[in-house]
Structure 1
Amino acid sequence: MTSTMGRRSIWVALLVISLLFSLRPQRVSSTLPLQSLNQGSKDSATESAPKQDWNDAREVHCSRERSRAAWKIIEEYLMPFVDKKKHKISTECRLHPDNDMFRDQEQHKTHLDFNDWKCGYCRKRFYEEKYLDQHFDNRHYDLLNVSRNKCMADLCGALHCDHVMDSVSQKKSKCNPAATARNKHMCEALADSCFPINQGVASHLHEFFLRQFCDAHTCSGKPKPFSRGRQVRTSWSYVVISVLTILIVLFFYVFVYLYKRGMRTRPQVLKRLSESGRKKKPS
Structure 2
Amino acid sequence: MARPKLRSFKFIVVLISLESIILVFANSQSSEEHAHEVHCSRERSRAAYEIIEEYLIPFVERENYQMSHKCKLHPGNDIFRDQEEHKIHVDVNEWRCGYCKKSFRAEKFLDQHFDNRHYNLLNISQGNCLAELCGALHCDHVLNSVVPKTKCNPAAAARNRHLCESLADSCFPVHQGPSAGRLHELFLRQFCDAHSCTGKFKPFSRGGKKHTNIFYLAMSILILMLLPIFYLIVFLYQREMRKGTQVLRRISKQSLKKKPY
Same fold (TM over 0.5): yes
Structure 2 counterpart of 1:123? 101
User: Aligned letter for 1:187?
Assistant: C
1:65-91 per-residue CA deviation (whole Å, 9 max, x = no partner) reads: 111000000000000110111111110
Q: TM-score, normalised by structure 1?
A: 0.65
1:183 is the counterpart of 2:160: yes
Q: Give matches, 1:243-258, under 5 Å.
A: none
Instruction: Measure how far apart 1:56 and its partner are.
Output: 2.6
Q: 1:151 aligns with which of 129, 134, 158?
A: 129
Q: 1:112 aligns to what SS in structure 2?
A: strand
Q: Give matches, 1:1-283, under 5 Å.
A: 48-168=26-146, 170-200=147-177, 201-232=179-210
CA–CA separation in structure 1 for the residues paired with 2:99 and 2:211: 26
| Percent of aligned pairs with the same amino acid | 60
1:87-114 per-residue CA deviation (whole Å, 9 max, x = no partner) reads: 1111000011221111110000011111
Q: TM-score, normalised by structure 2?
A: 0.70
Q: 2:174 aligns to what SS in structure 1?
A: coil
CA–CA separation in structure 1 for the residues paired with 2:211 and 2:145: 23
Q: 2:132 aligns to what SS in structure 1?
A: helix
How many equivalent residue pairs? 204
1:136-156 per-residue CA deviation (whole Å, 9 max, x = no partner) reads: 011101111234441110000
CA–CA separation in structure 2 for the residues paired with 1:223 and 1:207: 15
After the TM superposition, which segments of 4 or more aligned residues of structure 1 sit over 6 Å from their partners? 38-46
Q: Is contact 1:188–1:210 with CA below 8 Å preserved after alignment?
A: yes
CA–CA separation in structure 2 for the residues paired with 1:50 and 1:79: 45
CA–CA separation in structure 1 for the residues paired with 2:150 and 2:127: 29
Q: Is contact 1:158–1:214 with CA below 8 Å preserved after alignment?
A: yes
CA–CA separation in structure 1 for the residues paired with 2:134 and 2:125: 19
Q: Is contact 1:75–1:232 with CA below 8 Å preserved after alignment?
A: no
Q: Mark the runs of 5 or more structure 1 residues left unpaired by the alignment.
A: 1-37, 235-241, 258-283
CA–CA separation in structure 1 for the residues paired with 2:69 and 2:210: 23
Q: Is contact 1:158–1:186 with CA below 8 Å preserved after alignment?
A: yes
CA–CA separation in structure 2 for the residues paired with 1:167 and 1:174: 18
User: Aligned letter for 1:189?
Assistant: S
Farther-moved stretch of structure 1 (50-59 vs 181-190): 50-59
Bigger CA radius of gyration:
1
Instruction: Measure how far apart 1:40 and its partner are.
Output: 9.7
Q: 1:219 aligns to what SS in structure 2?
A: coil
CA–CA separation in structure 1 for the residues paired with 2:158 and 2:199: 14
CA–CA separation in structure 2 for the residues paired with 1:73 and 1:231: 10
Q: Mark the runs of 5 or more structure 2 residues left unpaired by the alignment.
A: 1-15, 233-261
Residues 43, 123 of structure 1: alpha-carbon distance in 2 compared, 3 angstrom cutoff: farther
